[in-house]
Amino acid sequence: MKKKLLSTILSVTMAAALLAGCGSSAAAPAETAAPAEEAAPAEEAAPAEEAEVVEDVEEAAEAVEEAAADSGAAGDVITVGFAQVGHESDWRTASTKSCQDVFSAENGYDLSFVDCDNDEAAQKEAVRSFIEQGVDYIIIDPIIATGWDTVLTECEDAGIPVIVIDRTIDDSDKYVSWVGSNFKTEGLAAGEWLKAYAEKQGIKEINALVISGSTGASAQIGRSEGFQEVADREGWTILDEQTGDFTKAGGQEVMESYCKSYEGKFNVVVCQNDNEAFGAMTAMDNAGVAYGPGNDVILISFDACTAGLEDVKAGKISADFECNPLAAPFVEQVIQQLQKGETPEKEVYMEEHWYALPDQIVDFSIDGEAQTMTEVTDDVIAAQY
């Protein structure tokens, strides 16, 4: 689209130059052919001709401004490059589909999509390839939070706005907007819920095992920090925390190790996404560990995908804390603001919910703000991603 606009500007500018040239050449023969006594009237006419030329140039300038203002509304295709983390979870699949649905040809977009398969170097190379393609906008869901300043500087130098979604970038602010979730708030929610639920159940001691997400990802950092803050305040014991890389296989592998190393010593398992929880449940099933409401182990999860909520309703996951994957509509709002020359918000937070069954719904607050929990029903599950 930018290339088309540049072409329009150049064409209008050249046309204005030709108009100016034609005005000058037309005046010269008139002065040469006129008799001496008519010279004065001819000279008097010249300013009028120059005024016409100036008006033509001004009209050309106005046309350029109108072309710039109307470029987004003229049906031009907007090109977007999206460097996605990978495909490790149901959440990630929903995030990818959201972007593909919104940034479709039918909606006036040309999307270049790269699944980076959790490879940090591949993700940065994907961004550089978008720069070479000259796309209009770049979307990044960063695999890790650091090491981004150089490549974002390259985007800035190329004049390509960057929008970050989901995970955050901590070592550079050279992006237009970030759209996503407050991961520490999610971790705090899980901790505050557990405190209130344990009190309701008369549980005096918490011995927790944590299966964290990919180390260094902002989702892992925020959820770990939030839950740890409540644990430290309440005097809970976190027996261990190991990464399951946000995958079912990773969750199962870590939980198998936990079941052997901490047999009979834990009463809470925190999985930092649903896929890890699916793997952890398999491992606990195989080890004969009873989990879920009314059983020995309280299982907490994050993401609240459809399958995760099904396990809440089935009495397996005690509480699930949503991380909304459907960022694309919010990203499109940012792009449309930029198209109009407006300045979008630097941070855009999406609405999220905390889920449980009625017996596990308890009152709790985060930093003094009362939280609302959503009961998991068939209708709620059907409406989820």
User: Over the stretch 287-301, which tens digit does the pLDDT of each residue have?
Assistant: 999 999 999 999 999
First-residue to last-residue Cα distance in the chain: 33
In this structure, how many other beta carbons lie within 10 angstroms of the beta carbon of residue 145?
18
Beta-carbon contacts of 314 under 8 Å, excluding residues fewer than 6 positions away, are none
pLDDT for res 44: 42
Candidate from 67-81, 223-237, 242-256 with smallest mean pLDDT: 67-81
Domain 78-181+327-349 matches domain 183-323+353-383 at the CATH topology level: yes
Encoded tokens for 126: 């994907």
In this structure, how many other beta carbons lie within 10 angstroms of the beta carbon of residue 39?
11
pLDDT higher than threshold 50 for residue 43: no
Beta-carbon contacts of 381 under 8 Å, excluding residues fewer than 6 positions away, are 306, 309, 310, 313
Instruction: Express as a percent the part of the chain with pLDDT over 70.
Output: 81
CA–CA separation, 246 and 167 (whole Å): 13
pLDDT for res 375: 98
Domain ranges of the chain: 2-73, 78-181+327-349, 183-323+353-383
Beta-carbon contacts of 264 under 8 Å, excluding residues fewer than 6 positions away, are none
pLDDT higher than threshold 80 for residue 48: no
pLDDT for res 343: 97
pLDDT higher than threshold 80 for residue 32: no
pLDDT for res 75: 56
Determine the 3-state secondary structure of 277 from DSSP.
helix
When pLDDT is averaged across residues 355-378 and rounded to a whole number, the result is 98
Helix, strand, coil proportions of the chain in percent (round to 5)? 50, 20, 30
pLDDT for res 52: 42
CA–CA separation, 286 and 296 (whole Å): 15
Encoded tokens for 217: 């990802």
Report H helices in the chain.
2-33, 39-70, 90-102, 120-133, 149-157, 183-201, 218-234, 248-261, 274-287, 306-313, 328-339, 378-383
pLDDT higher than threshold 80 for residue 38: no
Topology of domain 78-181+327-349, per CATH?
A: Rossmann fold (3.40.50)
Beta-carbon contacts of 379 under 8 Å, excluding residues fewer than 6 positions away, are none
Kindly report the average pLDDT of the chain as a whole number. Answer: 86
Beta-carbon contacts of 10 under 8 Å, excluding residues fewer than 6 positions away, are none
pLDDT for res 39: 36
pLDDT higher than threshold 90 for residue 98: yes
Locus of tokens 């009362």: 370
Length of the chain: 385
- What CATH superfamily classification does 183-323+353-383 receive? Response regulator (3.40.50.2300)
